[in-house]
Amino acid sequence: MKEDIFKKRRDSFVKKLSILSDGKPILSLLNSHKEPALGRFFSNTNFYYFTGLDIPDATLILDVDGKKNSESLFLPPPNPLKARWYGEEFSSGSLDKSGKADSVRNKTMKGTGFKNIFPNYDISEYLKRVLPSKDSILIDPYADEDIKELNAKILKSYPFLKAISGREAISSLRKSKDDFEIEKIKSAIDVAIEAEYAIMHFLKPDMFEYEIEAIVNYIFLKNNSRESFPSIIGSGKNSTILHYNKNDKKIDANDMVVCDIGARKDYYCSDLTRSFPANGVFSKKQLKLYEVVLEASEIAIKNVKTGVSIFELNQLLKEFYEKKGLNDFNFHGVSHHLGLDVHEEGSIEERLLENSVITIEPGLYNQKENIGIRIEDDVLVKNDGAEVLSKDLIKDPAQIEKQMAKRGKRVII
For residues 262 and 280, which CB has a smaller minimum distance to Mn ion in the complex?
262
For residues 271 and 341, which CB has a smaller minimum distance to Mn ion in the complex?
271
3-state secondary structure 359-370: EECCEEEECCCC
For residues 359 and 390, which CB has a smaller minimum distance to Mn ion in the complex?
359
Instruction: Determine contact, residues 25/14, Cβ cutoff 8 Å.
Output: no
Q: How far is the CB of 111 from Mn ion (least distance, A)?
A: 34
Q: How far is the CB of 323 from Mn ion (least distance, A)?
A: 25
For residues 56 and 362, which CB has a smaller minimum distance to Mn ion in the complex?
362
Helix (H) or strand (E) holding 241: none
- Interface residues with Mn ion (CB under 5 A)? 271, 359
| CA pair distance 169, 136, nearest whole angstrom | 14
Helices (H), 52-113: 80-86, 103-112
* 70-75 and 59-64 beta bridge pairing: antiparallel
| CA pair distance 203, 281, nearest whole angstrom | 12
For residues 136 and 228, which CB has a smaller minimum distance to Mn ion in the complex?
228
Q: How far is the CB of 199 from Mn ion (least distance, A)?
A: 17
Residue 215 backbone dihedrals phi, psi, to 5 degrees: -65, -45
For residues 240 and 359, which CB has a smaller minimum distance to Mn ion in the complex?
359
Q: Of 377, 206, 357, 242, nearest to 301 (Cα)?
A: 377
Q: Catalogue the long-range contacts made by 229-235 (C-beta closer than 8 Å, 24 or more residues apart).
A: 229/262, 229/271, 229/342, 231/259, 231/260, 231/261, 231/262, 232/258, 232/259, 232/260, 232/261, 232/273, 233/209, 233/257, 233/258, 233/259, 234/209, 234/258, 234/260, 234/372, 235/209, 235/278
Q: How far is the CB of 173 from Mn ion (least distance, A)?
A: 22
Q: How far is the CB of 359 from Mn ion (least distance, A)?
A: 4
Q: How far is the CB of 222 from Mn ion (least distance, A)?
A: 23
Q: How far is the CB of 335 from Mn ion (least distance, A)?
A: 8
| CA pair distance 373, 240, nearest whole angstrom | 8
For residues 89 and 271, which CB has a smaller minimum distance to Mn ion in the complex?
271
